[in-house]
Structure 1
Amino acid sequence: MGVLFDYFRAPNGETALRLLLDEDGVPASPTTVGAGLDALDAKGIDPHVILGQLVGFVLGVPWSVDLIESGLVWPPEETKPRTLDEAERLPEDSPWQTGPWLEEFGDRVRDALAGADDAALPSVAEDWTRIEEFDGTMDAAFALEITKEFVGLARRARQAGDRLYCWACL
């Protein structure tokens, strides 16, 4: 079972979460919200390692664990287990164990992608295809396409004064 990732833009965390809530009060994925949401279905591209490396290539800096700044919007912080013992006692259906999860990125991620040099994108995408996490399976044409989609989403977010979000689910 893999984790799926959707990226989208919204003015703030409250709005992002509201966009994802269905009538039962359970968050739904951006793909279920409808055409009104500016979203990118990125399947297995996690925000901290794989997207983080793309951001590193765009910025011309090496990837590091703190390159992607983010904060959790869902599940609610007040339900987060504070100790290992609390985490082990969580019910199997706890969103802390099963998701979904909603992260809000710092503006550095949005602005780095939005500020990418269009002429450099083929080279950036080519470098990105060679990261260990893709294990040689990332197609160069698809890498360029998804890179352009991330850049476009970030540019629209910056222009609107929105933030970028990542919705993850199992």
Structure 2
Amino acid sequence: MGNLYDYFSAPDDATALAAFDQGIEATGLPLLPVKEIDPYVQLGQAEGMLTGTPYDDVTSLPRFNRLLSSPEDDSRWLVTLTDELRDALVAARPGAFAAVAETWSNIEEFGGCFPPGELADVLIGLSDLAEAARTRPEPHRLYCLMSL
């Protein structure tokens, strides 16, 4: 069993933290469960590819993987994702995900374990989540609940 990552949207950090405590499914917030694609290194590199921003600059953004849950938790954490990622996922043109996934699949952290088609599907799922987040009456931000 690997690490699990639940990517979801919420209107604000307080609501995301409440969903972390209650269980995302119980809150009815939009959710995309993903196995083995972490929000920091792996998704952070995809963010850099989607936005044209160097990875080191992506990691400097204020909402990049900011921990909302207690640092003492040893098996579950809640982090923020950037609005830049959300907006880039929404703005991507058809075909962009396949091209990004081709490059993304070759990063060292994947170790050749993810075919580009699977990664493109993850990006499409995240794009759908981001689109729903931006078009709500009260726009949502993106979050990731990580579980060991």
Flag whether TM exceeds 0.5 (same fold). yes
Match of 2:140 in 1: 162
The corresponding residue for 1:139 is: 115
Q: What residue in structure 2 maps to residue 60 of structure 1?
A: 52
Unaligned runs of 5+ in 2: none
Shift of 1:70: 3.5
**What is the Cα deviation at residue 72 of structure 1?**
2.0
Q: Name the % identity.
A: 38
2:82 aligns with 106
Q: Which has the larger radius of gyration?
A: 1
The alignment status of 1:13 with 2:13, answered yes or no, reads yes
Once the 2 structures are TM-superposed, how far is the Cα of residue 3 of structure 1 from its aligned partner? 3.0
SS in 2 for 1:124: helix
Report Cα offsets for 1:98-147 as digits up to 9, x if no partner: 13111122312211222222232211111111111111111122111111
* Normalised TM-score (structure 2): 0.84
Runs of 4+ in 1 over 6 A off after TM superposition: none
- Residue 69 of structure 1 contacts residue 109 of structure 1 at CA under 8 Å; is this kept in 2? no
Corresponding pairs, count = 143
Is the contact between residue 39 and residue 65 of structure 2 (CA under 8 Å) also seen in structure 1?
A: no
In 2, the alpha carbon distance for the partners of 1:51 and 1:153 equals 15
CA distance in 1 between counterparts of 2:53 and 2:80 reads 22
Which residue of structure 2 aligns with residue 41 of structure 1?
A: 33
3-state SS of 2:38 partner = coil
**Residues 129, 143 of structure 1: 8 Å contact kept:** yes
TM-score (norm 1): 0.74
Gaps of 5+ in 1: 23-27, 81-93
CA contact (8 A) 1:8 1:164 kept: yes
Q: Which AA in structure 1 matches 2:38?
A: D
Q: What's the secondary structure of 2:46's corresponding residue?
A: helix
